[in-house]
Chain A
């Protein structure tokens, strides 16, 4: 019926404005092992608790964000722009 997703750019917005893609996995490097690619494309965890997901603010600012959502309570612990996360991962 209702719930809110915090967008780092637009604030709390109704979930109907968003599209969910699923687990926010890091894309393997071009030359990665086949097994890494299989994991990336097909394997998903199903954790009870915190889970990082890609959400797209499709009917809003059109930014992709990484939302840390609790799969039990649906509480959102964090949300950040996907580009910021990708850049910080590239640095580490």
Chain B
């Protein structure tokens, strides 16, 4: 016996049949079905295996809380594991696979775990896998990993796109059931900007399976009319298939819209999911209530279902649960189901009511057993009988379906996302949303309001109160007339059931059963948060939507206290799982982060550059030529050529900031540790910027182009940080200074022309005289190029130690100017060089970068002690730089280092030890910050930060690299390896 589709009726479109497969078996359903309703219509009651014991499981709910019916939908990169069959719309060609079974759903080896269940109780892995410790990595962990989880993620890339969006409204209504529809209609008619979101396919919520009449219309028709009116209002946005999953600061709500999860072939121009951040002046939570399971033996057998879900399958999808149904109820809602089943000619065998009397007068054919409970079930892969316990006696009744109605828990998750704790109401027998929430109201069943007319009224009056607060005038609320509502009268919770036989599950998804809760309490884990971790109750994808309140009730009972003293675990976003795709949005693949290309990128590419990513930038690393087999061959050639002829290097990615204003010089004087006030117009100066703690922050050259206009350069890596820092200084520290800052990094293409022939080459395009007399070292000025065709800025600065210039031209002219310089230098041997060569050249000259400026060095450590102004009254870092420890003689100081044997080498990061000393932390003298092969010296050279290094030139040390197992005897030396007198700069 199994579930089946009734011949007519319901909200499915029988004119639109759909075919789909489950574990490869072809099945049929209708448009309007969920995967769950279609499976039930095909008599497929067994849909999955449970997590721990691999017990056969069926469909328990008709909504978001489903713990059992988790399937894998789709294939390839579109594989979506752990999809709730109850939320997945059916579409033509849908492929679904059951999970957690091998080799098949019907015959599952893992079910043997059921035999081991005495050893798999709460906390078993804390006890079982304790020793011997060496087995952890080899055996226990792989075992647990293999057993853990349900569905398997795909290894293929997701072919679909996702996006993110913002929305703003006066009133956000969450849930389009009776309460939400009434609220949205009221606020919409008053002219408020309303957004109504609902996770379902069509508005209505419980109205879609309610048999009550509203204003003489069927409930579903009322919902349809309400939705049509809402859609006609320009100020109302109705967002279906959209789950509001979290409430965040600033009354921002997170929501995910499933735009194309209900089609086989998503349209490529649309995302499959859209992540919304909805900014609401006010929100109304109308999320309804969740029916609680009852904890009796075998309550997990396929065929056992929540009573409200059974009613939804029957009335909305016209799927009958079986041929002989029993109803186990603790409130009146079971009778509404009985009436609907009998009206559909589905036999109800028995109604088992835990109470002595009901609020409704049942006159149907079913046997009514009062003051009784279902204590156990029988059956293998589906239920075949129930065991009814009454007055100390147990009776077995044959059934093929069982509904359980354990009362309702308001769905208040979002109301608790910002730290509020739910409050237990003894009167309503439910946890209610915290009091005094700002910006959020709770109404309808979510506030434990039980009957339909009251929900409609509450939605309307709350909405009216909210929009009135906004100053809108609201037309009088006309409440619709409700007939035939069975209501959902508050049930007295039945936490524990007498005479339970077999495993009574509290948490279906995690296979936590009654005894586990008792064990946790006995073993000292009775605090609700501890019990959760110890038993895993309330974990995994459903986060205990069905199980938490029962677990709290059972813990309360075991401790002999009220649920109020147990309290709830913390509610956190997300309400239901949100895909990584939706959270990532468009930031994937080559959109993961922006790519910054220099204005000279194409010039470098044309010359065969090999690019390296540094941050977001693509920098030309070296320029290989035909016949060169290794990068070192290219770099050695480039290095030698710069020192012999000339080279051209793209330095556009250096940060550039224009600083202007009457107090620009004073401003610079305060942000640099060295003096800038008296820098003459037309001159550049190397500047050191400190942090307030006295350590060096960044370095660069700054040129005074006019009295009140400066051109600052920063390092590439710190360009953005320096800009933020300068803005902080200008705005928050010294707003009295007249200074303006503009980031101009992207406005200029900048190139270094370095080498003995640099002037000759450059003079061919620069109109002004740039002889040493007219344009000496550290000269900086705006120049005219190509006979006045273009203007640029020329700086006589040198990172390479050669006669060198940096020329900045408007970005768009970069490639043309570089081409012109290459042309002008053709007969002088000019070659492009990249950052590798730049690095060799600067290490040969002992110039520092952020390898050396590592956040722990002060100017004196790098030999810049004399640069620090002693006369300035204030600059950033001045006060803390005075600290005694920062002048200690054993501080790491910049020093050169070379291997004794030039055939040996070392790498950056290697540590410096006294010769013969053991490689221990105590013996550590410092480390190599930069290293390179110098073709001039025919040896590896390095810069290092070594204790008291500046006084140890000539000392033999050991350079030790534990990571690579290398060590080489070396000698400390002057960090300037090449032209220490700087003669080549001043030609």
Contacts and interface: CB of A to CB of B under 8 A. Distances in A.
Contact of B692 (A2, A4, A40, A85): A40
Interface in A39-71: 40-42, 54, 56, 58, 62-64
A10 interface: no
A23 to B, nearest CB: 12
A83 B731 contact: yes
A27 B733 contact: yes
B195 to A, nearest CB: 15
Given A2-B250, A37-B880, A41-B880, A30 B874 contact: yes
Contacts, number: 84
B773 interface: no
B736 A90 contact: yes
A6 to B, nearest CB: 9
Nearest to B417: A1
B499 interface: no
Contacts of B254: 1-2
Contact of A64 (B731, B736, B873, B882): B731
Contacts of B246: 1
A3 B880 CA distance: 36
Contact of B727 (A14, A30, A32, A56): A56
A1 B248 contact: yes
B727 A74 contact: no
Given A54-B728, A64-B732, A82-B732, A73 B880 contact: no
Contacts of A72: 419
Interface string B464-490: 000000000000000000000000000
Interface in B264-290: 277, 279
Interface in B880-915: 880, 882
Contacts of B873: 30-31
B514 interface: no
A41 B880 CA distance: 9
Interface string A5-42: 10000001010000101001001101110100100111
A31 B872 CA distance: 12
Contacts of B419: 72-73
Range of interface residues on B (Cβ < 8 Å): 20 to 34
A48 to B, nearest CB: 13
A38 to B, nearest CB: 8
A4 B279 contact: yes
A4 B736 CA distance: 30
B735 interface: yes
B156 interface: no
Interface string B213-252: 0000000000000000000000000000000001011101
Given A3-B250, A41-B692, A74-B249, A19 B735 contact: no
A4 B252 contact: yes
B878 interface: yes
Range of interface residues on A (Cβ < 8 Å): 35 or more
Contact of A12 (B279, B724, B879): B279
Contacts of A5: 250
Q: Which of A21, A30, A31 has the most CB of B within 10 A?
A: A30
A42 B879 CA distance: 13
A72 B420 CA distance: 11
A56 B248 contact: no
Interface string B709-739: 0000000000000001001100111111000
Contacts of A64: 727-728, 731-732
A83 B605 CA distance: 46
B792 interface: no
B767 interface: no
A39 to B, nearest CB: 11
Secondary structure of the B contact surface, majority rule: mixed
Contact of B731 (A4, A63, A76, A90): A63
Interface string B796-837: 000000000000000000000000000000000000000000
A86 interface: yes
Nearest to A6: B250
Given A37-B880, A41-B692, A81 B731 contact: yes
Contacts of A76: 250
B728 A56 contact: yes
A32 B246 CA distance: 48
A86 B250 contact: no
Given A2-B252, A3-B249, A3-B252, A14 B731 contact: no
Contacts of B728: 21, 54, 56, 64, 82
A4 B732 contact: no
Contacts of B882: 34
Interface in B530-582: 573
B693 interface: yes
B250 A32 contact: no
Contacts of A1: 246, 248, 252, 254, 277, 573
Nearest to A38: B880
B400 to A, nearest CB: 45
Given A12-B279, A19-B724, A64-B728, A86 B249 contact: no
Contacts of B693: 41-42
B827 to A, nearest CB: 48
A57 B802 CA distance: 42
Contact of A3 (B248, B724, B879): B248
Q: Which of A1, A30, A74, A84 has the most CB of B within 10 A?
A: A1
A35 to B, nearest CB: 11
Q: Which of A2, A3, A5, A83 has the most CB of B within 10 A?
A: A2
Nearest to A31: B873
B279 to A, nearest CB: 7
Nearest to B253: A2
Contacts of B692: 27, 40-41
B66 to A, nearest CB: 24
Contacts of B736: 87, 90
Contact of A30 (B250, B732, B735, B878): B878
Contacts of A83: 731-732, 735
A19 B874 CA distance: 27
A66 to B, nearest CB: 8
A43 B418 CA distance: 29
A90 B734 CA distance: 10
Q: Which of B246, B248, B418, B879 has the most CB of A within 10 A?
A: B879
Interface of B: 166, 246, 248-250, 252, 254, 277, 279, 418-419, 573, 692-693, 724, 727-728, 731-736, 873-874, 878-880, 882
Given A1-B248, A3-B249, A4-B249, 15 more contacts: A1-B254, A2-B250, A2-B252, A3-B248, A21-B728, A27-B692, A27-B733, A30-B879, A40-B692, A41-B693, A54-B732, A56-B727, A63-B731, A64-B732, A86-B731
27 contacts: A1-B252, A1-B277, A2-B248, A2-B254, A2-B277, A3-B250, A3-B252, A4-B252, A12-B279, A24-B732, A27-B733, A31-B873, A32-B879, A37-B879, A37-B880, A40-B692, A41-B692, A41-B880, A54-B732, A56-B728, A72-B419, A74-B249, A82-B728, A82-B732, A83-B735, A86-B731, A87-B735
Interface of A: 1-5, 12, 14, 19, 21, 24, 27-28, 30-32, 34, 37, 40-42, 54, 56, 58, 62-64, 72-76, 81-87, 90
Which A-B residue pairs are the 6 nearest by beta carbons?
A: A3-B249, A4-B250, A83-B735, A30-B874, A82-B732, A2-B252
